[in-house]
Amino acid sequence: MANPTSLPSPWSVLRDGLRLIARFVKTHPWAFALAVFGAALYAAAIVASAQVVGWLTDQVIIPVLTNGADFRAKVWLAVAALVGVSLWKASGIVLRRTAAGWLQFRTRQDVRNRLLDHQLDLELAWFSQQSIGDLLAVADSDTDRGTGVLAPLPYATGVMLLLFGSVAMVARIDLWLGFWSLAGLVIIVAVDVKGAWTVYPLWEEVQEQRGRLWSLAHEAFDGALTIKSLGREAKVADRFGVTSDGVRDGIIDVNTRWVSYQAIIRALPPALILVLIYAGAARIRAGAITAGDLVTVTYLLSLLAFPVQLIGFVLFDLSASIAGWQRVQSVFEADRFMGYGANSAQEPGRAASVAGHGVDFKYRPEEPVLVGVEMDLAAGTTLAVVGPTASGKSTLALLLARLWDPADGAIHIDDRDLRSFARSELPREVAYVSQEAFLFDDTITGNITLGDAFTDEEVTSAARLAGADVFVSELPNGYATRLGERGTSLSGGQRQRIALARALIRQPRLMILDDATSAVDPSVEAEILRSLKRADLPSTIVMVAYRPATIRLADEVMFVDDKTVSDHGTHEQLLSRSPGYAALVRAYEEDARRVATDDHRHMSTDERRRS
C-alpha cells in the first residue's frame, strides 16, 4: 500500500478530479447540463418542501392546536402543495438519473473506442513491452473506474446548489441560524474532502493490483495447454490467489478507511440539527423567529442529511476515478506511432520488385539483430530466406511487411519507400503470413474475406490454391463452418492453410511467408508451393524456409547469417560457394531423412501389430 508520507495534497487531488470531470463534460456538455438541471429541480423541490412544511406549521397546525381553528378550509390547498412538490421532485430525479446515466455510459464507450483506435496506431514495438492482460484491465476496470464519478456527479452538483440555497434561506429567516448552518456544513464537507484525500493512494494501488490480476488471468487462459501438460494448475491457481487476495485486501483497506470517515459524517448532521434547535429555541423566546420558521430550518437540514453524505460519495468516487484514469491516460500518452506518407497502393495484377539498402534493426539498443542488409529482388521472383536459428530471418520478414521499421536504412517496393505509403495502403500490396496463424471466431469464409466483398468462387479458388479446399469441403457446414476463438477446432496445418488463403485472395504484389506452412506435412507443403508457382501469381514471394524441398522450389536463395545477408543467389550457386549455407542445408537434409526413417519405422510397427 502507498506510504502516507507520499500523499498528494487534498487540493491537488481535488484539482486533478475537477480537470478530469471537465474533460468528460466537454465531450457531452448537453447531457451534463440536462443532468444538472434535473438535480437543480430536485434541490429546489427540497427547499420548497421545507417552505411548505413551515407554512403548514404556522398556518394550519399551530392554529388548530392552540385555538381549535377549522383546518378544513386549507386542507386541500395543503394537499395540493405537497403533491405538487412531490411531482416536482420526481421530475428532477428522473431527468437527472436519465441524463447522468447516458453521460456515464456514452463516455465509457467513447473512451474504449479511443483506446482501441490509439493502440492500433502504435508500433508493434510498444505492444511487445506491454502485458496484454494489463491492457485489458485498462480497457475494462480502469475505464469503468475512471468514468465512475459521472453518474453521481450531477446529483452532487445539485446538492451544492441545495446547500447554497438552504443556507441562504436559513440566513433569510435568521442570520445567526444561517451562520451556524453554514459552519456545520463546511465542517461536514471538509471531513468529506479529508476522507477522499486519504483513500486516493489506496485506490491507486488497488488499480495496479487489478492490472496484475488481469495479466495473470490472461496468461493462464492463453497458456492453458502448457499449464495442463506440465501439471502446473495448482501453482498457477496459488499465484493467482495471492494476487486476488491482494486486490481483496486493498479494497477492504479502502472501504475500512472510508467507512471511518463516513461514521463521522453521518453523526454530524443530527448534531448540527440539535445545535440549531437549541439556538432556535432561544431565538423564538427573543421573538426573532416563529415556531414555523424553526420547523422549516430543522426539517430542511434533516432532508440534507443524505444529500450531504452524497458529496462524500462523489469525492470517494472521484479519488477512485483519478486512480483509474491515470492508468488509462498512460496508454493515451504512448506516442510510438507509425509514420505514414501519401502514396496509394497500385492495383493488383503485377508483381513488385523489392530492394533494401543499409537496413539495420535492433529490438534493444544494445543488441543489433540485422546490420547492413542489402537486397535486390526482381518482380515475380520466389525467394527463400534461409539461415540458422536467431539469424534474423523472421525479423527481415516483419520489416518487409513494415510491421516494424528499420533503425537505419530503407526498404523499397517498386522504388517506393515502405514508409511513404498512406495508412492502410501498403497492406493492399503486401501480404504477410506468419507461422502462428491467427483465426477469428467466425466462419471459414469470414476468416478468408475478413468482411471484404469477395465472391464465393474467389473464396473457393484461394482455398484450393492454399490446399484448404479438400478439408473444408469435408466439414459439416463447409465454408459456413464456424471455427471458434483462434480457430481451435482446426489443426495447426489447417489453420495455416486458411491464413494462406486469406492472403492469396487479395492477390498481393508481394507475399511474405514466414514459415507459414511449417505445420503441414512436407509433401503437402511442397504441393502447395508447386501450386503457387503453377498458378503464375501476380506476386513476388519471399518465404522463410527450412525444408530442403521448399528451398529447391525457390528461384533464388538469400542466406542470412551473422546478422546480415551473407550470400544471395540460386540454390546451386550458394551450395558451391557458401560453406555455411551448404552445411546448413546438409543438416536440414539429414534431419528430414531422420524424420522420414522414424515415420517409416512407426508405420511398419503399426502394420505388424495389426497383422
pLDDT digits (tens, 9 = 90+) for 92-107: 889 888 988 898 899 9
- Per-residue confidence band for 5, with pLDDT thresholds at 50, 70 and 90: very low
3 state SS of 77:
helix
> Residues 137-161: what's their mean pLDDT?
80
Top pLDDT among 458 and 204 is at: 458
pLDDT over threshold 80, residue 159: no
User: In 3-state terms, what secondary structure has residue 84?
Assistant: helix
Q: How far apart are CA 122 and CA 321, in angstroms?
A: 26
Closest by CA position to 119, among listed 98, 135, 100, 96: 135
Report the phi/psi class of residue 450: left, alpha or beta, with left for phi > 0 and alpha for psi in -120 to 50: left
pLDDT band at 557 (very low <50, low <70, confident <90, very high): very high
Contact 193, 11 (CB under 8 A): no
Q: Grid coordinates standing for 424?
A: 492502410
Q: What is the pLDDT of residue 155?
A: 72
User: Which grid coordinates belong to 312?
Assistant: 462524500
* pLDDT value of residue 413: 93
> What pLDDT shows up at residue 72?
65
Residues 6+ apart with CB under 8 A from 401: 430, 432, 512
Could you give the 3-state DSSP secondary structure of residue 11? Answer: helix
Task: Provide the Cα torsion 19, 21, 24, 28; round to 10°.
Answer: -120
**Averaged over 80-87, what is the pLDDT?**
82
114: confidence class by pLDDT, cuts 50, 70, 90: very high
- How many residues are given for the chain? 611
**Better-scored residue on pLDDT, 254 or 495:** 495
Higher pLDDT pick, 71 / 232: 232
323-340 in b/e burial notation, b at 16+ Cβ within 10 A? bbbbbbeebeebeeebee
Between CA 428 and CA 574 the distance in angstroms is: 33
Neighbours of 36 (CB within 10 A): 23
Contacts of 440 (CB under 8 A, 6+ apart): 446, 447, 450, 483, 487
DSSP letters for 458-482:
HHHHHHHHTT-HHHHHTSTTGGG-B
Between strands 382-386 and 540-544, the pairing is parallel
3-state SS assignment for residue 106: helix
Task: Determine the Cα–Cα distance for residues 144 and 146; give it in Å rounded to an integer.
Answer: 6
Q: What is the pLDDT of residue 608?
A: 47
Instruction: Name the most confidently modeled range: 224-233, 287-296, 416-425, 479-488.
Output: 416-425
Contact 370, 396 (CB under 8 A): yes
* Confidence at residue 327, expressed as pLDDT on a 0 to 100 scale: 86
Q: Grid cell 412544511 — which residue?
A: 53
Question: Which range (158-172, 502-516, 539-553) has the least confidence?
Answer: 158-172
Q: Is the pLDDT of residue 604 over 80?
A: no
User: From the CA atom positions of the chain, what is the Rg in Å?
Assistant: 36
The predicted structure's pLDDT at residue 8: 57
CA geometry: angle 389, 395, 396, nearest 5 deg: 105
Of the candidates 290, 301, 303, 283, the one whose C-alpha atom is nearest the C-alpha of residue 58 is 290
| Cell numbers describing residue 328 | 488509462
Query: What pLDDT sits at residue 3?
Result: 41
In this predicted structure, the answer to whether residue 416 has a pLDDT above a threshold of 90 is yes
Q: Worst-scoring range by mean pLDDT, 66-80, 198-212, 317-331, 564-578? A: 66-80
Mean pLDDT of the chain: 81
Residue showing cell 522420414 = 596
Give the C-alpha separation, 415 to 376, whole Å.
Answer: 11
Torsion sign, CA atoms 399, 402, 407, 409:
positive
CA distance 25 to 118: 21
Average pLDDT over residues 430-453: 88
Question: Model confidence over 18-74: pLDDT tens digits?
Answer: 788 888 888 889 988 898 888 888 878 877 777 777 777 777 777 766 766 566 666
Question: Could you give the domains of the chain?
Answer: 27-332 (1.20.1560.10), 354-429+508-610 (3.40.50.300), 440-507 (no CATH)
- pLDDT value, residue 7: 53
DSSP secondary structure, 234-292, as one string: HHHHHHHHHHHHHHHHHHHHHHHHHHHHHHHHHHHHHHHHHHHHHHHHHHHHTTSS-HH
What does the DSSP assignment read for 305-330?
HHHHHHHHHHHHHHHHHHHHHHHHHH
pLDDT of residue 610: 47
Strand partners, 417: 412
The pLDDT assigned to 399 comes to 92
Helices (H) and strands (E) in the chain, counts: 22, 10
**DSSP state letter for 337:** B
In what side-by-side order are the strands of the sheet with 564-569? 430-433, 510-514, 540-544, 382-386, 556-561, 564-569
Q: What is residue 562's DSSP assignment?
A: T
538 burial class (0-12, 13-18, 19+ CB within 10 angstroms)?
Answer: middle
Q: How far apart are CA 272 and CA 295, in angstroms?
A: 14
- The three-class DSSP label of residue 88 is helix
For residue 79, pLDDT beyond 60: yes
User: What is the H or E stretch that residue 507 is in?
Assistant: none
Return the percentage of the chain with pLDDT > 90, whole number.
13
pTM above 0.85, yes or no: no
Residue 42 grid coordinates: 430536485
**Which are the contacts of 234, defined by CB distance < 8 A and separation ≥ 6?**
none
